[in-house]
Chain A
């Protein structure tokens, strides 16, 4: 890697050299990703089990989700993954300015995702479909629109929908914060960031968030079509 801006990467005292430091950070980040995988794995399993148990009701309800908005969000996230990959590349070649540009593009996508998600939630909640005790009232008004599934199961379905996509959205928001901090530290020329590793770690996280959505989208919105 070159260091265009003449900054030597700092080697922390516990490491022998920069290679060891960089390798170690990546091992740590991958271990953390393993934990993230299991974290989401748990809710995926829960969703699959209930889906198998209540297949027909879930099909009806899945069809009522807004696959266009979901699809839009999929495109947005795919684009953001490309942008973040560019950012990591620029970090590796040491071109800080361009790197920051790509990071801003990533943040832009993430914000776009949140806006779309907001409208999606707003629509559902507006119809009274937030799955707490008051769910049944709102749901009963929707029967004419084809919401014909059993109301209890529907509440379970929406519980899963809001919980799982909500957790994912939370990860997106955390991603925005992380990238924001990263940009700020780069701008301040902080000594925490003297090589490409922090960017690469954030990128890894972001790809993961993206990947979760790549599975969520078909599971919730597409398969029943």
Chain B
């Protein structure tokens, strides 16, 4: 207790300095992570407003809120904000920034100033995109297919593209920073195969970022050039090939879906190990599956273009490769399941999100295989089936893991505990709301509802699915709004968190205070064991020894600690078996 009180007055990264300038010019990775947290939340909120407008519009077969034009601009805004300004940066730039140095035992990222530059690039990019939206909005979708985006659209597309271009370089700088950090900044004893799997996932993500992002940056830059100067590289009038843009775009944007999902999978591994008190099963398989995804992910872009005039033989090969890339994803899911099996599972809020992730990601991934097979894709492409598929992986996967991770590390980030009751409630709302929103979209998509349409008066019987979906999205919205409230509340009023409230392994828990000091560690850690040295029985024995040493064994048991409970339940199990 007294140790805690002393800690309270101690300096940490949050109270090190209070001026606005100290925040805006900070090079502390934890503070930059915090700036990112605020900004990605802001863009997530704007993207959600656009989503709500789309859902409201779709409740009536002829629409009733938005004109054709505005509808196009609304779904474009939704896609652009969510993909480029939330999903791609969210986990790396918020959680990765905060955790990488802590997890590998470093005082900061390799290049703290570059880190700050990358936040500014992100903000400038975001402001340009918002400016484009205020100036009337862009209507070419988040995919910016040419020649719509290059010649036919008269909206401020160039401005938005420049914003996305800058944002791309923000990602690239983060990627460069992470690669250098993971290679060179590990604490003594932190070998590659002792790294938490979260770090592995960021290593592979950063590779994708630095190898993929420049290609899309170039692809988009050429669209800007064509609009601005008439120098048209994709222009069909002069023999250019508009489909070339799609190739370049998906060469990045398929790997980009792994930029979104790999860090989410990393978070999964951390939380599963902690809340089932077992090491992640098959550590090296999980680590290498991330690398396999990073490599194979670059070879499947053509599955977005099966009906685009690409040759049939190419289609067959891309289809085959798409099936191959599903294997490493499945490896992870199996390994998590085995980790859970016979684990001592604790149903905390992060664990609820873990389980939600597994369920939703499996559905998203399996429906991906429907889309990866040529013959089924011809029917399903361009329908709501696609919309449902990618929301199952991007919201059900990435956003769910982001929420889980935010709860898991919240005590570390803020030094405060959130309310478990509200946490679990919101996790439940997200899970239920999500399924009600997106499952009907599989059905209505299979029936033929095209994506990016706001009229379906030719098939009014679809209305019921759309209404279900809109109803579900309301629940989902509440599920996301609640954490914004109770987490903020806990920041000011929450119970103080101890250094390691979950009894987790990992340097950020075992060696750094909550919240950490500016230099991260009082004493630089030396690593002597692998990640996830969880061992429920050893925990219990240790606790027993400590209590003995403290002479507490005879005293009235001070509440039942979790390991006691666990032991009892094990005994119950044994009895039940006999």
Contact flags B528-566 to A (C-beta < 8 A → 1, else 0): 000000000000000000000000000000000000000
Is A1 positioned at the interface, with any CB of B under 8 Å from its CB? no
Majority secondary structure of chain B interface residues (helix, strand, loop or mixed) = helix
Is B180's CB under 8 angstroms from A49's CB?
no
Q: How far is the CA of A31 from the CA of B215 in the complex (A)?
A: 15
Residues of chain B contacted by A36 (CB below 8 angstroms) = 214
Q: How far is the CB of B295 from chain A (nearest CB, A)?
A: 14
- The answer to whether residues A132 and B215 also contact, given A28-B180, A155-B238 and a CB cut-off of 8 A, is no
Q: State whether A159 and B110 are in contact (beta carbons under 8 Å apart), knowing that A24-B183, A24-B184, A39-B218 are contacts in the complex.
A: no
Residue pair A38, B176 in contact (C-beta under 8 Å): no
For A161, give the chain B residue with the smallest CB separation: B231
The CA of A132 and the CA of B222, in the complex, are separated in Å by: 14
Q: How far is the CB of B5 from chain A (nearest CB, A)?
A: 29
| Contact of B111 with A153 in the complex, beta carbons under 8 Å | no
**B107 within 8 Å of A (CB atoms):** yes
Q: Which residues of A contact B215 (CB under 8 A)?
A: 38-39, 41-42
In the complex, the chain B residue whose C-beta lies closest to that of A131 is B231
Once the chains bind, are B231 and A14 in contact (CB under 8 Å)? Answer: no
Q: Which of A31, A42, A159 interacts with B248 by CB under 8 Å?
A: A42
Interface string of B215-242 (1 = CB under 8 A from A): 1011100100100011111010111110
Chain B residue numbers with a CB within 8 Å of A54 are 239
Residues in A neighbouring B519, C-beta threshold 8 A:
13
Number of B residues, CB within 8 Å of A: 46
Chain B residues positioned under 8 Å from A35 (CB to CB):
172, 175-176, 210-211, 213-214
Q: Does A20 contact B (CB under 8 A)?
A: yes
A16 to B241, CA, bound (A): 52
Per the 8 Å Cβ criterion, residues 152-196 of A in contact with B are: 152-153, 155-156, 159-160, 162-163
Binary interface encoding of chain A residues 2-37 relative to chain B, with 1 for a CB under 8 A from any of its CBs, else 0: 000000000001111000100111011001101110
Interface status of B449 (Cβ within 8 A of chain A): no
Bound state CA distance, A27 and B238, in angstroms? Answer: 43
**Cβ of B240: which chain A residues have Cβ within 8 Å of it?**
50, 156, 159
Q: Measured between alpha carbons, how far is A43 from B237 in the docked complex, in Å?
A: 20
Are B112 and A31 within 8 A (Cβ)? no
Q: B214 touching A46 by the CB < 8 A rule?
A: no
A200 to chain B, nearest CB (A): 15
Whether B176 contacts A31 by the Cβ 8 Å rule is yes
Given the known interface contacts A131-B231, A162-B231, the answer about A13 and B180 at a Cβ–Cβ threshold of 8 Å is no
Q: Does A133 contact B (CB under 8 A)?
A: yes
Q: How far is the CB of B460 from chain A (nearest CB, A)?
A: 46
Asked if B214 contacts A42 (CB within 8 A), the reply is: yes
CA distance A131 to B219 in the complex (A): 19
Q: Is the CB of A32 within 8 A of B230?
A: no
* B272 located at the interface, meaning its Cβ lies under 8 Å from any Cβ of chain A in the complex: no
Q: Are B219 and A42 in contact (CB under 8 A)?
A: yes
How many angstroms between the C-alpha atoms of A132 and B230 in the bound complex? 5
A38 — nearest CB in chain B belongs to which residue? B214
Cα–Cα distance between A54 and B254 once the two chains are bound (Å): 29
Using Cβ atoms and an 8 Å threshold, which residues of chain B touch A150? 239
Given A13-B108, A24-B180, A28-B111, A163 and B231 contact (CB-CB distance below 8 Å): yes
Is B244 a contact partner of A49 (Cβ separation < 8 A)? yes
Given contacts A39-B215, A42-B214, whether A27 and B184 have CB atoms under 8 Å apart is: yes
The one of A20, A25, A38 that contacts B211, using a Cβ cutoff of 8 Å: A38
Write the nearest CB–CB distance from B152 to chain A, whole angstroms: 16
- Please determine whether B184 and A20 come into contact, CB atoms closer than 8 angstroms: yes
User: B462-505 toward A: CB 8 Å interface, digit per residue (1/0)?
Assistant: 00000000000000000000000000000000000000000000
- Chain B stretch 500-537: residues in CB contact (< 8 A) with chain A: 519, 524
Across the interface, do B233 and A153 meet the contact criterion of CB distance under 8 Å? no
Q: How far is the CB of A26 from chain B (nearest CB, A)?
A: 9
Partner of B231 from A27, A38, A53, A159 at Cβ < 8 Å: A159
Minimal Cβ-Cβ distance residue in B for A23: B184
Quote the shortest CB–CB distance from B461 to chain A (angstroms): 46
Minimum CB distance partner of A14 in chain B: B108
Within A39-68, the residues touching B (CB, 8 Å) are 39, 41-43, 46, 49-50, 53-54
Q: What is the CB-to-nearest-CB distance from A41 to chain B, in angstroms, rounded to a whole number?
A: 7
Task: Decide if B217 touches A153 in the complex (CB within 8 Å).
Answer: no
CB distance from B97 to the nearest CB of A (A): 14
Which of B106, B175, B210, B213 has most chain A Cβ within 10 Å? B210
B458 to chain A, nearest CB (A): 40
- CB-CB under 8 A from B183, the residues of chain A are 24, 27
- Distance in angstroms from B277 CB to nearest chain A CB is 33
- B residues sitting closer than 8 Å to A (CB atoms) are 101, 106-112, 114, 172, 175-177, 179-181, 183-185, 206, 210-215, 217-219, 222, 225, 229-233, 235, 237-241, 244, 248, 519, 524
| A-B contact list, 12 entries, CB within 8 Å | A13-B107, A13-B519, A14-B106, A24-B181, A25-B180, A28-B110, A28-B180, A34-B210, A36-B214, A39-B215, A42-B248, A156-B232
10 closest A-B pairs by beta carbon, nearest first, are A132-B230, A39-B214, A28-B180, A42-B218, A14-B108, A24-B184, A152-B238, A38-B214, A35-B210, A14-B107
Q: Contact residues of A with B, CB < 8 Å?
A: 13-16, 20, 23-25, 27-28, 31-32, 34-36, 38-39, 41-43, 46, 49-50, 53-54, 131-133, 150, 152-153, 155-156, 159-160, 162-163
> With A15-B185, A38-B211, A159-B233 given, can you name 20 additional A-B contacts, CB distance below 8 Å?
A13-B108, A14-B107, A14-B185, A23-B184, A27-B180, A28-B179, A34-B211, A35-B175, A35-B211, A38-B210, A38-B215, A41-B215, A42-B215, A42-B218, A46-B233, A50-B240, A131-B231, A132-B229, A152-B239, A156-B240
